Amino acid sequence: MNALKRDGIDAYMVVMSVDNDESVREAARAIAEQFGRLDVLVNNAGVKLETAPSPPSQCALDTVRETFETNVFGPIRVTQALLPLLREAAAPRIVNISSGMGSITLATTDTLYMSKPFAELRRVEGGPQPAHRPVRQRTPTW
């Protein structure tokens, strides 16, 4: 954030728990009250809850659920909550940050790897958008 501000970009970070509906709603309310719009949403949350990789046949189902809640459903929850504010911006953007853990090749080694391909494949349809203000979405994979 400091580097962006040094470059003259008026950027702010909003901390929320992406696996908690109330936390996401509160973040959306705060952004709406302070700014009235959202220019860029960066979905960067991710967890790895297993201490050692295990195949799907051996991992705890609760761990899989918790991992998917953050890595898959979290960005969808946040995007849905903030889409109305994105539509208020002149050129809104959604950036979904991923990693090598999004590799389908690695998807059978542990729950983090299993959840990331779903995060890569997800699309949250925002419904009809004015032609002059489409919401652009990018998912870089490192």
10 within 8 A of 37, measured Cβ to Cβ: no
State yes or no: pLDDT of 131 exceeds 50: no
For residues 106 and 114, give the distance between their C-alpha atoms in angstroms, rounded to a whole number: 8
Q: What is the mean pLDDT of residues 85-114?
A: 71
Show the tokens assigned to 139.
Answer: 């998912």
**pLDDT range class, residue 135, cuts 50, 70, 90:** low
Full residue range of the structural domain in which residue 101 is found: 2-125+132-138
114 within 8 A of 108, measured Cβ to Cβ: yes
pLDDT for residue 115: 56
**pLDDT, tens only, 34-92:** 999 999 999 988 887 777 777 777 888 898 888 889 988 999 999 999 999 999 999 99
Show the tokens assigned to 83.
Answer: 């889409």
- Comparing CA positions, the residue from 93, 61, 62 lying closest to residue 79 is 93
Instruction: List the beta bridge partners of residue 138.
Output: 95
Q: Please tell me whether the overall predicted TM-score, pTM, comes out greater than 0.85 for this model.
A: no
**pLDDT range class, residue 123, cuts 50, 70, 90:** very low
Domain count, the chain: 1
pLDDT mean across residues, the chain: 78
Domain of 114, CATH number, reads 3.40.50.720
In whole angstroms, how far apart are CA 73 and each of 8, 60, 89, 90?
33, 19, 24, 27
State yes or no: pLDDT of 27 exceeds 80: yes
pLDDT for residue 136: 60
> Would you give the end-to-end CA distance of the chain in angstroms?
20
State yes or no: pLDDT of 112 exceeds 70: no
